[in-house]
Amino acid sequence: MAVDLLHSVAPRHLVRDDQEFLLSRTVGLGAAAAACAVRCGRPGLAVGLLEQARGVLLSHAFDADSDLTRLRESAPGLADRFEELRQALDTATDEGLLAEESSGPAGARADVRQRLAADWRDLTARIRAEHPELGLLRPVREWDEDELRATAAAGPVVLVNVSPYGSDALIVTEHDIDAVPLPGLDPRTTATRRQTFQDALIRIETPGTSRKQSQRAQQDVWETLAWLWQTVTGPVLDHLPAATRVWWSPGGLLGTLPLHAAAPADPAPGALDRVVSSYTPTLRALHHARRRAARPTGTGTLIVSAARATGQAPLPGARREADHLARLLPGATLLADASATHSAVVSALPRHAYAHFACHALGDLERPSGSRLILHDHTERPLTVRDLARLRLPSVRLAYLSACDTLRTSPELADEAVHIVSAFQMAGFPHVVGALWHVDDVIGAEVALSVYDTLISGDGTLDVARTAEALHRAVRSLRDTYPRTPSLWASQVHAGP
């Protein structure tokens, strides 16, 4: 009952910061409910509970982004009202517009937002009741097990659940839903390992770190990969001996750890040698991305490079990367340095199917929706998660973020996946490449160019369906070149179908 009520904690009439604050106070609820369902022998129920509790804000975005094509054929009036209300709610809850308003009391504005949210609830309930055959706006808790398993038709989806009541990998395949016990995975150990890992990355990235300190930090990263293999990835892949493609949905304390790069302490093959990995915050996010990928595509590539931004270290490799891609992709639009502004990027995104960013990014742990890409005018008008998530881009395909920390978020909102990568997914990009931590300027460019070399087809178009495979190949090559420096090659990941 608590999980089913969770969405009422962060209703649509609240502004984003308030929603995040309230959801951060419910951390662990979904994990506890799912663990109890597993103990009762009901892994299918566990998946439904975990899905309902994770990604509340994502579900709002996916509801608002519903494909209305079939609804418009059956009930054009409802489709028009849906779009009208969606626009009104977006405007009424836009923090930027609220801050600029100088007329009218705050209470009156809040009343308007509550009325619009109530109208939205009534309208979505009516659409679901009058047109159930369309399957619109249904929470995952209402999906049956056949629908859950259908999300794994292209390969297993692994929801990793960490709870004081027991930790498990909930493995969804097209044939079954299994719970694989993970006895070595408990909240306290996971939190300690995560902190050790983060401290090691900070030491590696800090200027002036001695060679000996850096080597010790790299050893801590290696030990984390070995622990992930022993406690999570190894047991899962042993349960899926024939799998060659896996989607990971870790959430919680595991959300910032590289399950895709886990490897045993001895020289035996690890995850990179056995499967091509992708990430998804929830099953519904993966389902939504697949539907997005099936829509008619746009054309053209937008390349954004901010190699010299105020207050940030120069990124000489970023400009070289952007120039190389511009030559590789004839007709691409290049916004570089002073041209790479908030307004120019937001204006250009709807006109391009593919977007590549070579710049700094900054994860904001205090206000995750304030995490941002560092463009030329970032001090005056930052391009934040909040800004990106509000975009509606129906014809986009791939966002490649050659930037640091684009999956960084606070532990309290890890289940909400409030970070830059998810913001691009909410905007409409089914495929997104991002980074769990710092990306070396030169290494990032090397990986990006390798990925595009694989994706560019004979006629010069991008075959984005191969993005996960292309990134996997580039990361494996990098690992083979720098085997004892995992911080260089374990960061970049693919999110999407």
CATH topology of domain 286-495: Rossmann fold (3.40.50)
Q: Are 153 and 279 in contact (CB under 8 A)?
A: no
Q: Is the pTM of the predicted complex or chain greater than 0.85?
A: yes
Pairing of strands 168-172, 157-161: antiparallel
Residues of the chain with pLDDT under 70: 67, 94-108
Dihedral pair phi/psi, residue 303, rounded to 5°:
-115, 125
Contact by Cβ (8 Å): 497, 293: yes
Environment class of 267 (CB within 10 Å of its CB; exposed 0-12, middle 13-18, buried 19+): exposed
Q: What confidence score (pLDDT) does residue 101 get?
A: 46
* pLDDT tens sequence across 233-252: 999 999 999 999 999 999 88
What pLDDT score does 91 carry?
78
CATH code for the domain defined by 148-284: 3.30.420
Query: Cβ distance 407 to 420 under 8 Å?
Result: yes
* Per-residue confidence (pLDDT) for residue 97, from 0 to 100: 47
Q: How many CB atoms lie within 10 A of CB 65?
A: 18
pLDDT at 95: 57
Helix (H, G, I), strand (E, B) or coil at 149: helix
Q: What does the angle CA 288 – CA 294 – CA 297 come to, to the nearest 5 degrees?
A: 115
Q: What is the pLDDT of residue 113?
A: 81
404-462 tens-digit pLDDT: 999 988 888 888 888 999 999 999 999 999 999 999 989 999 999 999 999 998 777 89
- Please give the Cα distance from 465 to 204 (Å, whole number): 34
Element (H, E) at 424: helix 420-427
β pairing state of 168-172 and 177-181: antiparallel
pLDDT in tens, 405-419: 999 888 888 888 889
Q: Provide the residue ranges of all domains of the chain, joining segments of one domain with +.
A: 2-142, 148-284, 286-495
